[in-house]
Amino acid sequence: MSRRDTVTFRLLVALCVATSIWYFVWLLQPSRVGNPVLYGLLVLAELFNLGQAAGFWWTCLRRRVMPAPPALFKTWDVDLFIPVYNEPADIVEPVLRAAVALRGARVHVVLLDDGNNPDMRILALRCGAAYMRRPTNRGAKAGNINDALARTGSPLVAVLDCDHVPGPRFLEATVGHFGSGDVAFVQTPQFYANAPHNAIARAAWSQQALFFGTIATGKAGFDAMFCCGTNVIFRRDALMAAGGFPEDSVTEDFELSIQLHSAGWRSVYVPEVVAQGLGPEDAASYVSQQLRWSRGCISAIPRVLKARLPRAVKLQYLLSASYFLYGWTLVIYLLMPLLRITFGTQPLAGTSSASFLMHFAPYFLLSIISVARAGSGGYTFDAFALAAANFWIGIVSSVRAVLRRPASFVVTPKKGAGGWQPRVVAPALAVTGLLAGTSAWGIFHDPTPGVLNGVAFAAIHAVILVRGSAGALVPARRPVALSSRTPVLADVVSMDSRRVS
């Protein structure tokens, strides 16, 4: 990030803060209270989003150009684990072949097969990798890795998901950071190589690009970057001191990071794409992935609150852990036009549309511009719509977390099933139907400007929900074979500039 970009972004954040104050001072006037319950809900939703936005700006302001890894004074031994669980061999093979060819360290590739698939043993042997399996599947992926930790001994341990092909620089770009004795792990970005070929993967990548491009570099500035489960290298001592990966969580990587940071270890984030993977290729895969992440993150909130972490690091963890609660705010926003059209009930009173617009529009506009600017234009409307259409995920996850319902580790499908998946987006479609029906009733029953305003709000929600659901309703194109993935690593540049070709 150039100095000019930094100055521009700081100015933008200053404007964002000013417009936020301008809006919230106006909103929180006692005279604005219309229906007290709706007003309370609206303020809650707005404050949550302001908190997330402020956290985003704060994180982005901490972005730093990452120093190059220190020169390697010794050749490290690295155990590279590739956990599998019944994934297709044609997905796993390129990963194995690229892993055994890695340079920059003495690498010992181990295929950890929880599927007990004889073909995997043959594949591992054919590629020059070791093969391990265990009698039980206890602890899912975390248990699989912990089992392998006990049976290997290199000082560094790398973990790659079985659909993430490492590039030649994977170890060269990362291992040098372990020269510093307090570094527990080095995380690198996840990159979806199938993004150009698949709409869901493209939208999911756009979400990921914002995280791994801007947010992660900002978190690294706070020394608060957490492990993302793949494309990561650990110091074995740190892992062992933490007792290995937690097996009672569906986001074992997130919880492990909390433990390591609480114990005083540091993490490093290398914003260079050194491995390419596959993003979810259909709506069901995306939902499965998001359900696991949201459940894990929301369940981790109490642990974050209790953890003995520096305040800034704790806040960073809280921002990430609470992100999926946005689903609740969306429900509140969806409720407002429905109630206004049907009953004429409004959260605000004693004001006019012109006044609301004058205070809200600058805040809204600048917040969007800040996301666009921070993401260098990489965060798309489709990414936003996909997240919005799956608002129910955060709600289901938080309800289950509160009820302490057990979570199960579900592996994200590596190949999209394609075809129609209306069940996956049924909540979004149901809400869209409700919005459309209520709007139609309002237009025919009482087409006053107030009702039309509610209809316009309903319409934008409906468009966003339909757009976000489109991936489940329009049959996906044939999944991209791993072997035919676009060879991107030669063209890839740092995630700092977010221009991954």
Partner 1 sequence: MTTVVLDVVRDSPRAYRKRRRRPGDLKWLVLISALGALLRVFPVRGIWLDEAISVAQARLPYPTMLHQLMYGDLHPPLWGSVLWADVRIFGYSPLALRIPSIVAGTLCIPLLYLLGRELFDRRTGIAAAVLLAAAPLAVWYSGEARMYAFYLLFAIVALLGQARAIRRGDRAGWVLFVAGSAALIYTHYFSVLQLAAQHLVFLGLALRDRRLRKQWLISIAVIAVVLLPLVPYVLQQLGNASSPGASPTEGTGQPVSLYTVLANLVWSLWGYHSNALMTQLVALWPVAMLLVLALLGKGRSWAVTLLVAAVAGPVLGAFVISIKAETFFEVRYFVSILPPLIVLVARAATGWLPSFPARAVAVGALALTMLAGLADEQFDPANPRLYDYGGAFQYVSAQSRPGDQIVFAPDYLDVVVGYYHPAQPATPLSDQRPFEPSPGRVLVLASFLDQPATAALVGGTLSTLERNGRSIRQTKHWENVTLWILE
Positions touching partner 1 (CB under 8 A) are: 206, 352-355, 357-358, 361, 364-365, 368, 371-372, 377-384, 447, 449-450, 452-453, 455-457, 459-460, 463-464
Helix (H, G, I), strand (E, B) or coil at 111: strand
The C-alpha atoms of residue 252 and residue 296 are separated, in whole angstroms, by 8
Report the residue number, 226 or 384, with the smaller CB distance to partner 1. 384
| Nearer Cβ to partner 1 (50/183) | 50
CB of 211 or CB of 384, closer to partner 1 = 384
Residue 80 CB, nearest approach to partner 1 (Å): 35
Residue 491, token pair as written in the block? 């063209």
Token pair for 413: 């499908």
Distance CA 299, CA 399 (A): 10
Taking the complex as a whole, how short is the minimal distance between the CB of residue 287 and partner 1, in angstroms? 22
Those residues whose C-beta lies under 8 Å from the C-beta of residue 257, and which sit 6 or more positions away, are: 185, 225, 226, 227, 267
Choice between 440 and 463, CB closer to partner 1? 463
Strand partners for 131: 111
How near is the Cβ of 273 to partner 1 at its closest, in Å? 19
Q: How far is CA 174 from the centre of its chain?
A: 22
Q: Which residues does 135 contact at the CB level (< 8 Å), separation at least 6?
A: none
CB–CB of 161/277 below 8 Å? Answer: yes
Residues present in the chain in total: 501
> Rounded CA gap, 137 and 477, in Å?
34
Q: Which is nearer to partner 1, 176 or 375 (CB)?
A: 375
Residues whose CB is less than 8 angstroms from the CB of residue 466 and which lie 6 or more positions away in sequence, other chains included:
389, 428, 432
Min CB(380)–partner 1 separation in Å = 3
Q: How far is the CB of 370 from partner 1 (least distance, A)?
A: 12
Q: How far is CA 445 from CA 235, 275, 338, 457, 496, in A?
A: 67, 57, 14, 17, 53
> Whose Cβ is closer to partner 1: residue 257's or residue 380's?
380
Q: H or E element: which one contains 178? A: none
User: To the nearest whole angstrom, how small is the minimum distance from the Cβ of residue 133 to partner 1?
Assistant: 43
In the bound complex, what is the minimum distance in angstroms from residue 485's beta carbon to partner 1?
A: 22
Nearer to partner 1, 302 or 447 (CB): 447
Output 71 or 354, the one with its CB closest to partner 1.
354
CB of 32 to partner 1, least distance (A): 17
Give whichever of 181 and 449 is closer to partner 1, judged by the CB atom.
449
**Least distance (Å) between residue 194 CB and partner 1:** 18
Whole-angstrom distance, CA of residue 381 vs CA of residue 388: 10
Q: What Rg, from alpha-carbon coordinates, does the chain have? A: 24
Backbone angles phi, psi at 258, to 5 degrees: -60, -45
Instruction: Using alpha carbons, select from 274, 232, 216 the residue that is nearest to residue 500.
Output: 274
CB of 460 to partner 1, least distance (A): 4
CB of 357 to partner 1, least distance (A): 4
Paired sense of beta strands 165-166 and 275-276, if any: antiparallel
Q: Which whole-number Å values give the CA distances from 455 to 333, 412, 467, in the listed order?
A: 13, 38, 18
By beta-carbon proximity to partner 1, the closer residue of 4 and 308 is 4
What's at 83, amino acid-wise? P
Q: How far apart are CA 300 and CA 416, in angstroms?
A: 29
Please calculate the CA angle 223-145-192 and round it to the nearest 5 degrees: 65
- Closer CB to partner 1, 213 or 221, in the complex: 213
